[in-house]
Structure 1
Amino acid sequence: MKDIVEYTDYRKFIQDYYDERKRSSAFTWREFARDAGFTSPVYLKYVCEGKKNLSIGVAGSVANAMGLAGFESTYFVLMVSYAHAKSDVAKRAAFEERCALARAHKVRVLGSEEFDYFKSWKNPVIRELAVQMPGAKPLEIAHACKPKISAAEVSETLDFLVKAKLLKKGKNGVYHQTEKSVSMVSVDAVPVAARDMQRQMGELAVKALDLPLSERDMSGLTLGLTRNAYERIRKEIADFRRRIVAIATEDDETEQVYRMNLQLFPLSERLEKKKDLKNKGVERDEK
């Protein structure tokens, strides 16, 4: 069975614990439930199947039944707390608490570096600038950013990027990217942080409207779509995004760092089906 810090889903952890015990003994769900203090012999089975939820109040008892103690018991309870969080703010706080606990015990949480990376627009921007400005001081990199940030922020970001192995600093002080691009791992907390970055980039896009037309390209379409058309457009966007990445990585040099937002979102509730869709229109805006 994997270490607990390799799990993000408490249900999966419970299921793996049960499966491991079952392989080596006559362990049953009834016995497991009894050890955890449940009267229903199948309650934990239903929890693993997603039919029931484990409350934060009983999470400690389940941890004890699995033989968890100290750091691992607290970590398990935090996994349950994360599952109960409703908003992005609450989820982010629960995940960060889990990461802080792990760091205090010198272990790494799956997805923690990626989570931190997607929390701020400064990370991807400085990751690009540092490589293309060899030998530059933090203040020089700070002055190259839009919007402007401080040299201290650049230094802090560079330290994080090196620690997260997203940048490598050579003996001559020159930075190199360890990978051409950064992708989200399959950890549900990482998209929570990614939404933060998307909000930040959206705010920067609004400010970029004041730039001369020669320095930015923005356009939009307001569409009436069926669900089938929506899915087809999503695929087109995904294919287009891959082609853009391929073009951007053809050259090793960079002259300027850009952000490209691709957004497709609803502006109405779903309408009842109509027999006549002949008047469906498209409104285009380009400025």
Structure 2
Amino acid sequence: MLNVFDYTDYRILLSDLYQQRKSEWAAFSYRYICNKVGIASAGFFTNILNGKRNISDELIFKFAELFGFSRVETEYFDCMVHYDQSKEPDRRKYYHDKMVVLRKTSIYELTAEQNEYFSNWYNVAIRELINFYPFNGDYEVLAKMLAPSITAAQAQSAIELLLKLNLIRKDGAMYVVTDKTVRTSNQTSLSAIHHYQRAAMTLAQTAIERFDRADRNISTLTLNISTAQFQAISEKLTEFQLTALEMAKSDPEPSERVYQFNFQIFPLTKCYKGEK
């Protein structure tokens, strides 16, 4: 079942929903969709998907009804449509912020008891790896899949922790994740988050030597800007994180690797507001 909240582009969502329904019921066609939502031509739906036509407020709710969205999913879908179709930056920011808030209601949040998840970087990496890697209990092989590699004992400890926290589960002889997206909550300790962030930054430092340039993307930028512009750029980074999540979700190719994305902006000088 597709998760509406994994998307920020409503056109990609509609395309994926169509593909999913089509695989389940062969009669689910563009013409069927158009008949249900009151569109005269099947070509109109094609144009929606390829960005040549927009949808009206009336169609927003007809599509939501067709695909069985809940109230919150419908509200999120409405925001996605207006975010895509709005031209004014202020309106786009308004709908983007609403999407961020609504997404928080749909994402699995770690509780205070689950702080241990962030105790080692490889706990997070292994859980992400299990999304596509067929792990069957061979800890030696699993340990060597990570870069840098870890010990079999560490891999086993991570699997046991993920099972205990209900972040993965056993499915026959294999292991699968229980939720697609995980985020921290206000119960997650700052010390646990900062511990993980420091580990991620250390991995970035060593990645310069561990990987060829073709396998990594590391760049820096030093700017002099106002506090207001810093906040605006930070908001853009938050927006990009949503985009990256969507791109990962809608990747047409099978996953091959786990990547670490670090987003950092910090001061290099004290603040100066002019002579007093």
How big is the shift at 1:132? 2.4
How big is the shift at 1:136? 5.2
Q: Which has the larger radius of gyration?
A: 1
Structure number with the bigger relative contact order (C-alpha 8 A, sep ≥ 6) is 2
**Contact between 2:125 and 2:258, CA under 8 Å: does it hold in 1?**
yes
1:78-93 paired onto structure 2 within 5 Å: none
Secondary structure of 2:244's match?
Answer: helix
**Partner letter of residue 149 of structure 2?**
K
**Contact between 2:130 and 2:177, CA under 8 Å: does it hold in 1?**
no
TM-score by length of 1: 0.54
Q: Whole-Å Cα distance in 1 between the matches of residues 127 and 111 of structure 2?
A: 21
Alignment of 1:246 with 2:246, yes or no, is: yes
Alignment of 1:153 with 2:154, yes or no, is: yes
Secondary structure of 1:222's match?
Answer: coil
How big is the shift at 1:119? 2.0
Runs of 4+ in 1 over 6 A off after TM superposition: none
Q: Whole-Å Cα distance in 2 between the matches of residues 122 and 110 of structure 1?
A: 19
Unmatched segments (≥5 aa) in structure 2: 1-109
Query: Kindly tell me: are residues 268 and 136 of structure 1, through their superposed partners in 2, closer, same or farther at Cα, counting changes over 3 Å?
Result: same
Q: Can you list the C-alpha shifts for 1:84-130, whole angstroms capped at 9, x where unaligned?
A: xxxxxxxxxxxxxxxxxxxxxxxxx94211x1112210111111223
Secondary structure of 1:132's match?
Answer: coil
**Contact between 1:131 and 1:174, CA under 8 Å: does it hold in 2?**
no
**Contact between 2:127 and 2:177, CA under 8 Å: does it hold in 1?**
yes
TM-score by length of 2: 0.56
Query: Kindly tell me: are residues 110 and 186 of structure 1, through their superposed partners in 2, closer, same or farther at Cα, counting changes over 3 Å?
Result: same
Unmatched segments (≥5 aa) in structure 1: 1-108, 276-287
How big is the shift at 1:137? 0.8
In the alignment, what sits opposite 1:123? 123
Q: Whole-Å Cα distance in 2 between the matches of residues 119 and 250 of structure 1?
A: 30
**Contact between 1:168 and 1:177, CA under 8 Å: does it hold in 2?**
yes
**Partner letter of residue 165 of structure 1?**
N
In the alignment, what sits opposite 1:94? none
In the alignment, what sits opposite 2:207? 208
Q: Whole-Å Cα distance in 2 between the matches of residues 245 and 162 of structure 1?
A: 24
Tell me the matched-pair count: 164
How big is the shift at 1:266? 0.6
Secondary structure of 2:264's match?
Answer: coil
Q: Whole-Å Cα distance in 2 between the matches of residues 224 and 194 of structure 1?
A: 28
Q: Can you list the C-alpha shifts for 1:117-154, whole angstroms capped at 9, x where unaligned?
A: 12210111111223423225111110111111111111
Q: Among the aligned pairs, what percent are the same residue?
A: 28
Alignment of 1:234 with 2:259, yes or no, is: no
Query: Kindly tell me: are residues 274 and 220 of structure 1, through their superposed partners in 2, closer, same or farther at Cα, counting changes over 3 Å?
Result: farther
